[in-house]
């Protein structure tokens, strides 16, 4: 009979493409924090590539990986994730695509497809730490589309803002908020040329797909980790036709995959 009295629930390790590590101890309580702090110098000496070490507190016994309370123990608060020519500064608790090599290919392909379309403005809905927005914005801060990223996680928005500032991309901005609410509340004359959506497994849902269908937006780039919700969302947007699509093996050795498609308004 499990007694559930242990303190360590999970150890979450993120390795950057440069081999640097973010190590997160998911604990039942803050009781071991003083001990981890005490042994931190030894841990850092044994793992010279460790850059960020934190404790995440998850008191409840439930089927989630992490809780809301995070205590960063190192001076460095973010892990630099260098993908293609974009550096993203990842804070603990921010979503990052599961497979970094494939994520780099995904963002590069998105940029490739979009460059030809040369949109003046774009929204990156469900922007996370800003992978799509930062790639679409391009290397020159004065060129490329004006991009607005919308994301519910405050930590992810803070990560994205840091990366944007670091790259001096003044035509990119990130806001914390609900993607559907943002679209529904936007003045009609502020609709962009392109909308990128990269939602969680549930997809974008009836409200946002209905809004896109009724909008005059010319292109939608939809990156999905669940082909079932993607198909449902696409069925609700018959005014768009897929002009490009590619499957990415984001979750090797599982039945899951990422699929990205570029949709173009008919007519
Ligand atoms: C599949 S991840 C994609 C993140 C990002 N596009 C990337 O490439 O890393 C989905 C993101 O949607 C965010 N999210 C979930 N529900 C949301 C909502 N209603 N509005 C905006 N963002 C949401 C999650 O926090 C998560 O960061």
* Domain residue limits, the chain: 8-76, 82-265
Buried b (16+ CB within 10 A) or exposed e, 90-127: bbbbbbbbebbebbbbbbebbbebbeeeebeebbbbbb
Cβ of residue 160 lying under 6 Å from some atom of ligand 1: no
CA of 8 to the centre of ligand 1 (A): 27
- CB of 126 closer than 6 angstroms to any ligand 1 atom: yes
226 carries a ligand binding annotation? no
- Establish whether residue 181 lines the binding site of ligand 1, counting it when its CB lies within 6 angstroms of any ligand atom: no
pLDDT in tens, the chain (267 residues): 667 778 999 999 999 999 999 999 999 999 999 999 999 999 999 999 999 999 999 998 888 899 999 999 999 999 999 999 999 999 998 889 889 999 999 999 999 999 989 999 999 999 999 999 999 997 676 778 999 999 999 989 999 999 999 999 999 999 999 999 999 999 988 999 999 999 999 999 999 999 999 999 999 999 999 999 999 999 999 999 999 999 999 999 999 999 999 999 998
Of all protein residues, the one whose alpha carbon is nearest to atom 6 of ligand 1 is: 127
The reply, when asked if residue 76 is annotated as ligand binding, is no
Nearest to 263 by CA among 226, 233, 227: 233
Active site residue 133: no
pLDDT of residue 92: 92
> What is residue 235's predicted lDDT score, i.e. its pLDDT?
98
- Cα 16 to ligand 1 centroid, rounded to whole Å: 20
pLDDT of residue 142: 73
Give the pLDDT score at 230: 98
Q: Give the class (CATH, top level) of 82-265.
A: alpha beta
Residue 1's pLDDT is what?
Answer: 62
Task: State the distance from the centre of ligand 1 to the C-alpha of 266, rounded, in angstroms.
Answer: 28
**CA dist., res. 181 & res. 203, Å (int):** 15
Q: 222 labelled as ligand-binding?
A: no
Residue 29 half-sphere exposure, CB side, CA atoms within 13 Å? Answer: 6
Nearest atom of ligand 1 to the alpha carbon of 199: 10
Query: What is the reported pLDDT for 139?
Result: 65
Residue 42 Cα to ligand 1 middle (Å): 36
Q: According to the annotation, is 126 in a ligand binding site? A: yes
pLDDT of 49: 98
For ligand 1, atom 18: residue with the closest CA: 178
Would you say the CB of residue 95 lies under 6 angstroms from ligand 1? yes
Confirm or reject: Cβ of 152 under 6 Å from ligand 1. yes
Give dist(CA 101, CA 2) in Å, integer: 38
Report pLDDT for 195.
Answer: 98
- Model pTM? 0.92
């Amino acid at each position: 009979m499990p007694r559930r009295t242990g303190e360590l629930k999970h150890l979450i390790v993120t390795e950057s493409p440069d081999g640097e590590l973010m190590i997160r101890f998911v604990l039942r309580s803050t009781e071991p924090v003083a001990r981890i702090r005490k042994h931190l110098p030894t841990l850092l000496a044994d793992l010279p590539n460790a850059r960020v070490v934190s404790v995440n507190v998850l008191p409840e016994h439930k089927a989630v990986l992490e809780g809301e309370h995070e205590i960063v123990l190192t001076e460095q608060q973010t892990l630099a994730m260098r993908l293609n020519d974009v550096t993203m500064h990842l804070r603990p608790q921010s979503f990052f695509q599961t497979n970094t090599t494939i994520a780099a290919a995904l963002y590069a392909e998105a940029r490739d497809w979009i460059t030809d379309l040369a949109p003046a403005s774009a929204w990156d809905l469900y922007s996370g730490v800003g992978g799509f927005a930062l790639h679409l914005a391009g290397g020159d801060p004065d060129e490329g589309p004006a991009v607005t990223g919308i994301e519910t996680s405050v930590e992810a928005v803070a990560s994205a803002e840091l990366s944007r500032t670091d790259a001096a991309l003044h035509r990119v901005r990130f806001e914390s908020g609900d993607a559907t609410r943002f679209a529904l509340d936007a003045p009609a004359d502020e609709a962009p040329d392109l909308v990128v959506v990269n939602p969680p497994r549930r997809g974008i849902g009836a409200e946002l797909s209905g809004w896109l269908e009724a909008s005059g937006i010319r292109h939608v780039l939809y990156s999905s980790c669940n082909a079932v919700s993607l198909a449902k969302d696409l069925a609700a947007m018959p005014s768009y036709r897929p002009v490009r699509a590619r499957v990415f093996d984001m979750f090797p050795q599982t039945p899951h995959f990422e699929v990205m498609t570029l949709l173009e308004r008919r007519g």
